[in-house]
């Protein structure tokens, strides 16, 4: 089953998942598993967790929006507004990407992975690869 995160401008990312836990307004936390029945709900600000097919957990900062489940696809329709944390995380990612152009080491690669993780957790997924 898949999760698609979309903003008003574009599809931010789309990946295979095994489970998603998010929070809806007035409904509390809700978990989605493969085969979930059709669903539509309004999202509240929350920490959403996405279990990827490789077993890792992606953490998303959600700032409202909607969740829809249909045909084994969970779609999070979210507004993406840059927060100070997101902007700092983007700058860190840009610095790490610059380093990879001039230096190739385990430490630089780890720095790049950390920057991707910080940006994803800050909700700035547009500039981060979902698999990192």
Judged against a pLDDT cut of 90, whether residue 114 lies above it is answered with: no
> If pLDDT is split at 50, 70 and 90, which confidence band does 74 have?
very high
pTM higher than 0.85: no
Judged against a pLDDT cut of 80, whether residue 29 lies above it is answered with: yes
Give the range with max mean pLDDT: 7-11, 18-22, 53-57.
Answer: 18-22
What's the distance, Cα to Cα, between the start and end of the chain in Å? 19
Write down the pLDDT at residue 123. 62
Q: What is the rounded distance in angstroms from the CA atom of residue 81 to the CA atom of residue 86?
A: 9
Percent of the chain with pLDDT strictly greater than 90: 36
Long-range contacts of 21-30 (CB under 8 A, 24+ apart): 21/48, 21/49, 22/46, 22/48, 22/49, 22/62, 22/67, 22/76, 23/48, 23/62, 24/67, 30/67
């Amino acid at each position: 089953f898949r999760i698609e995160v979309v903003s008003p401008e574009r599809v931010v990312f789309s990946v295979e998942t095994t489970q998603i836990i998010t929070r809806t307004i007035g409904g509390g936390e809700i978990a989605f598993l493969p085969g979930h029945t059709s669903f539509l709900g309004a999202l509240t600000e929350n920490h959403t967790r996405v279990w990827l097919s490789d077993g890792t957990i992606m953490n998303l900062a959600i700032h409202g929006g909607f969740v829809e489940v249909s045909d084994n696809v969970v779609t999070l329709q979210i507004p993406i507004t840059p927060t100070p944390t997101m902007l700092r995380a983007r700058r860190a990612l840009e610095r790490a990407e610059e380093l990879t152009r001039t230096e190739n080491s385990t430490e630089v690669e780890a720095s790049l992975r950390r920057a991707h993780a910080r940006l994803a957790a800050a909700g700035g997924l547009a500039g981060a690869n979902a698999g990192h």
